[in-house]
Structure 1
Amino acid sequence: MSDLLSRLRGHQPNRPSQTLTRIGLGTIMTFAGITHLTTAREEFQAQVPDWFPMNKDLVVLGSGVAEISLGVSMLALPGHRRLTGTALAAFYTLIFPGNIAQYAERTDAFGLDTDAKRLIRLFGQPLLIAGALWAAGIPEQRR
């Protein structure tokens, strides 16, 4: 386990685009997390599928705290970008079924009020996952 953690903390040179991606995703996630807890709480509740076996408000609050934690980590811990970026990619992967459910169940939220808009959003999630991995330095640069 310690070998995995040391690899995730690996310090390899990063490109300016990786730094910008890390800062951008960190800023977006921190802002999104704050809105989970404040102004957009009801909109986020609408995105939690009815079949999900937890209280919608609890899910929104928990995911908001997770997003703030991940966002601040991306911003404040550049020396651990591999770990924080990988954690953010895992988070994006975990919430993807909710995006699929929003499309399949035709749930309106955040202006996603047509099938076309909800479908386009589905293609954005893999881009976020790729961005988080890029910010983490994955794939590794060849030396």
Structure 2
Amino acid sequence: MSKKNVARTVGRIFLGSFLVFAGVSHLTFARDEFQAQVPDWVPLDPDVTVLASGVVEVGLGAALLVARKRRGLVGVATALFFLAVFPGNIAQWLEHRDAFGLDTDTKRFVRLFFQPVLIALALWSTRRPRARGGDRSAP
């Protein structure tokens, strides 16, 4: 296995583990913190939103850890999830909502730059390795 493939595997395992932990925290000990982040314009009850996103995070995280044949599809789904929750992160900054130590506009603004990193990591870590000669069709 090449160094790049090892790095992708480590990135995928990190991201999958992070999502499982975040999802479990949505469902249990950090539920109130996450509810405080749900923007008013979300049409669902904040608790339902937090529970649903927690279930999705656990599912995506687990899929990142175990999926083999559909790994690329899982990466795209994970990236789309991160894209879907990004407006909530923007709302947290614009509405000055405190949660998880993000208690200043600067901290909330800086956090916005991590979402594209998560999207890129989801896509990069689940890409199929290139075969010799640059052919991506090899298993």
Question: TM-score, normalised on structure 2?
Answer: 0.88
* 1:35 alignment partner in structure 2: 25
* Secondary structure of residue in 2 paired with 1:53: coil
How many residues were matched structurally? 129
- Report the Cα distance in structure 2 between the residues aligned to 1:128 and 1:78, rounded to whole angstroms: 20
| CA RMSD, 1 decimal | 1.4
- Report the Cα distance in structure 2 between the residues aligned to 1:119 and 1:16, rounded to whole angstroms: 32
Offset at residue 125 of structure 1 (A): 0.3
Highest RCO, 1 vs 2 (Cα 8 Å, sep ≥ 6): 1
Q: In the alignment, is the contact (CA less than 8 A) between 1:81 and 1:135 conserved in 2?
A: no
Deviations 1:25-79 (A, max 9, x none): 0000001000000000000001100121110000000000000000000001133
Deviations 1:99-122 (A, max 9, x none): 000000000000000011001100
Alignment of 1:127 with 2:117, yes or no, is yes
* 1:85 alignment partner in structure 2: 75
What stretches of structure 1 move > 2 A for 4+ residues in a row?
Answer: 140-143
Q: Match for 1:94: what amino acid?
A: A
Between the aligned residues of both structures, percent identity stands at: 53
* 1:105 alignment partner in structure 2: 95
* Secondary structure of residue in 1 paired with 2:70: helix
Structural mapping, 1:32-71, within 5 Å: 32-71=22-61
Q: Which structure 2 segments of 5+ residues have no match? A: none
* Secondary structure of residue in 2 paired with 1:79: coil
- Report the Cα distance in structure 2 between the residues aligned to 1:78 and 1:32, rounded to whole angstroms: 22
* 1:7 alignment partner in structure 2: none
